[in-house]
Each structure stands twice: as structure tokens, then as C-alpha cells.
Amino acid sequence: MTGFWATVSALVWKDIRAELRTKDVVISVLTFALLSLVIFNFALRPSPQVIPIVAPGVLWVAFTFAGVLGLTRTFVLEKDRGNLEGLLLTPTSREAIYVGKMLGSLVFMLVAEVVVLPLFAVLFNLSPFRPGLLLVMLLTTIGFTAVGTLFSAIAINTRSREIMLPMLLLPLVVPVIIAAVVASGTALEGGSWSEMAKWLQLIAVFDVLALVFSAFAFEQVLQE
């Protein structure tokens, strides 16, 4: 394994190992997502005709706000004990630190999303384990965590970091979340790949731009 990927894997494993002991991120993300689904389900009481219309939106509201919660925790754990400084004192590239932290967040979010899906299926009487929906979830979560990791690093140095992250992140990810809602709806209704193609392309382009820009901007964000 090359230096870059060895560093990335060390960072991801460190985060996973710490998370397995504390379960801070996954539990908070899961709890929030599950509660959102339950509350929406009871509040909307959707009829079978309405379910395909509202369910994708409900799912992505739950994923988005739970994801913000998880991303806030990502850097709090590094910052509060001075560990971010410790990371910056190593000779590893800032891009590797960014990719490592981003992949860690991606794993936690995907785990939470996959755990949430069965409850979503029960509450909304849908079959969500469709390749189309899973691909939308994967691509959207990549873009979300790509931008979210950068903004989490920015927000961590501000006084009101819990408020700052959603304020910075949500306006930027709204287009990709809208694309995800539409594509998810198509997938849940059993639509074809060609019907989803333009939304998947939009999300994929967002992912590439988010990853490239965030990786370059990360060093500037961390430098005092």
C-alpha cells in the first residue's frame, strides 16, 4: 500500500475502532433517523396512493439531518482533545487526512442508512432494497460526506459549531438532495435505469466536484 493510502487506511481504522468502543456517531445518527421516520409516519398517515410521493422525501430528510449530526461529531472528537493538532504534526499530506476522515464518516453514515431501511420498509410498506435506491444512497452519501467533512473542519473552529455546520452545508447540498429524492422515488416505484440516469449523473458530477474541491481546500481550512 502506498504512503497515501496507508495513511488513509490508518485514519479510517482509527475512527472505526474508536467508534466501535463508543458508538457515539452511529447511535446518535441512527436514533435521529429512526425517530424522524416514525414521527413523519404518524404525522402524515400516508395512504397507499400517497406513499410513493412522500416516502422518498421523508427518507432523505431523515438521512440529511442525521448526517449533519454525525458530521458534527467527526471533528469534535478530534478537536476537543487536541488530537487534530496531533494529526497535523504528522508528515502526512492534508489530502490524505481529508480522505481518511471523509471515508470514516461515509462508513458511519452508510451503516446507519442500511440499518434504517428495514424500519422504513415496515413503516411505509415499501420494498427499499432495490439496486437503484442503494446506488442513489451510495452516491448521495459520498457527495454529502465529501462536502460535509470540509465544512465540519471549518465549523469546528467557530464558537457555534453545531449551528454553523448545517448553515454552511445544507444550502450547498440541497440540489443533490433534491436529485436524490427524485431518483429514490423513481427507484421505489420500480422505474428503469434510464429514467434515473439524469439524476444519477447529476449526483455523480456533484460528487466529483465536491471531492476535488474539498480535498484542495482542506489544507487552507486547517492552516491557522
Q: Contact residues for other proteins (CB under 8 A)?
A: 3, 6-7, 10-11, 14, 17-18, 21-22, 81-83, 85-93, 223-224
- Cell (9 digits) for 172: 450547498
Q: How far is the CB of 224 from other proteins (least distance, A)?
A: 4
- Cell (9 digits) for 33: 433517523
Task: Select 77 or 135, whichever has its Cβ closest to other proteins.
Answer: 77
Q: How far is the CB of 115 from other proteins (least distance, A)?
A: 22
Q: How far is the CB of 126 from other proteins (least distance, A)?
A: 37
Q: Is the dihedral of CA 1, 134, 13, 65 positive or negative?
A: positive
Task: Select 202 or 215, whichever has its Cβ closest to other proteins.
Answer: 215
Q: How far is the CB of 6 from other proteins (least distance, A)?
A: 7
At a CB cut-off of 8 Å and minimum separation 6, what does 156 contact?
Answer: 75, 76, 78, 79, 84
From residue 99, give the alpha-carbon distance in Å to each of 103, 179, 181, 210, 220: 6, 24, 26, 12, 15
* 191/136 Cα distance (integer angstroms): 13
* 221/155 Cα distance (integer angstroms): 10
Tell me if 7 sits within 8 A of 92, measured CB to CB.
yes
Task: Select 86 or 118, whichever has its Cβ closest to other proteins.
Answer: 86
Task: Select 10 or 54, whichever has its Cβ closest to other proteins.
Answer: 10
Task: Select 10 or 178, whichever has its Cβ closest to other proteins.
Answer: 10
Task: Select 90 or 192, whichever has its Cβ closest to other proteins.
Answer: 90
Q: How far is the CB of 223 from other proteins (least distance, A)?
A: 6
Q: How far is the CB of 149 from other proteins (least distance, A)?
A: 18
Q: Output the DSSP codes for 158-221.
A: STTHHHHHHHHHHHHHHHHHHHHHHHHHHHHTT--HHHHHHHHHHHHHHHHHHHHHHHHHHHHH
